Amino acid sequence: MPKTSEAGQPRIVIEGVRKTYRLQHTQSFKETFVAWIRRKKISTTFEALDDVDIVVGEGEAVALLGYNGSGKSTLLKLVSGVLRPDAGAVLTRGRVAGLIEVGAGFHPDLSGRENVYLNAAILGMSKSEIEARFDEIVEFSEIGEFIDTEVKHYSSGMFVRLAFAVAIHTELDVLLVDEVLAVGDAPFRAKCKDKIRELVAQDKTLFIVSHDLGMVSELCDRGIVLRRGRKIYDGTADEAIATLKASTR
């Protein structure tokens, strides 16, 4: 079994978590009324996560694996606080930062510089922290002289590089990563992986969702496989990949 308690206090505790989505089939009073008259179902429920227990320790790099609809992203959103569980508890210790859909806070009409400040503040950084890291962020993004150009004129690669650079430079104890490494060109991807490795070496906790199994076995030492909202495997990354390949959607 992978280490959990030897690093002392865990960073993330997920206890008996259940998340149910209710899918509404009617959009208006009229439709609801008609459905009620015809005794049709007004809504159906869908268990995105069912009784999931996970403990992640300090300095662990954990990959969350599963096919589409297995509940991976929902779990990540519960840890980031965007969603709340319907049952059970999610607890985190320290600063949690998410590389989740980087660039969500970018505004196309503002310059790269202004967007760096805005997005970093959205990710919870203070003004002095942003100022201290600004040059590092710009350097990492390789945007150079275009930093004062409006973001709408950026190529999609530049946009993503800048967004990623901001997110990866936030002050954090736990890093959540959701499928963002599939972006950028090969040299930039390699650079991102190096940066993530550096964070893991600093005993930061990494919680990553990815379909890129090569990267998972490279970066992570532990893998958890979800299937239809249930945890079916928790162990080493390589065995998790094997379990995933053997399972069906």
Q: Which residues bind other proteins (CB under 8 A)?
A: 1, 4-5, 9-10, 13, 15, 21, 53-55, 77-84, 89-93, 96, 98, 100-101, 104-105, 107, 109-110, 114, 117-118, 121-123, 126-127, 234
Q: Considering the complex, what minimum distance in angstroms separates the CB of residue 141 from other proteins?
A: 19
Nearest approach, Cβ of residue 105 and other proteins (Å): 6
Instruction: Supply the minimum distance, in Å, between the C-beta of residue 207 and other proteins.
Output: 12
The minimum distance between CB 104 and other proteins, in angstroms, equals 4
Give the chain's length: 249
Whose Cβ is closer to other proteins: residue 118's or residue 213's?
A: 118
Long-range CB contacts (within 8 A, 24+) of 191-200: 191/140, 192/164, 192/168, 193/218, 193/219, 195/140, 195/168, 196/168, 199/168, 199/172, 199/175, 200/59, 200/61
Count of CB atoms situated within 10 Å of the CB of 123: 20
Minimum distance from CB of 5 to other proteins (Å)? 4
Contact 78, 19 (CB under 8 A): yes
Amino acid present at 28: S
Q: Which tokens sit at 8?
A: 């002392």
Nearer to other proteins, 89 or 190 (CB): 89
| Identity of the residue, 35 or 122, whose beta carbon is nearer to other proteins in the bound complex | 122
d(CA 234, CA 63): 10
Within 13 A of 155's CA, how many CA atoms are on the CB side? 9
Name the minimum Å distance from CB 71 to other proteins.
13
Nearer residue to other proteins within complex by CB, 127 or 144: 127
Whichever of 142 and 150 has its CB closer to other proteins, that residue is: 150
The residue (of 3 and 245) whose beta carbon lies closer to other proteins is 3
Cα(144)–Cα(138) distance, rounded to whole angstroms? 7
Q: Which of 154, 147, 158 is nearest to 114 (CA)?
A: 147
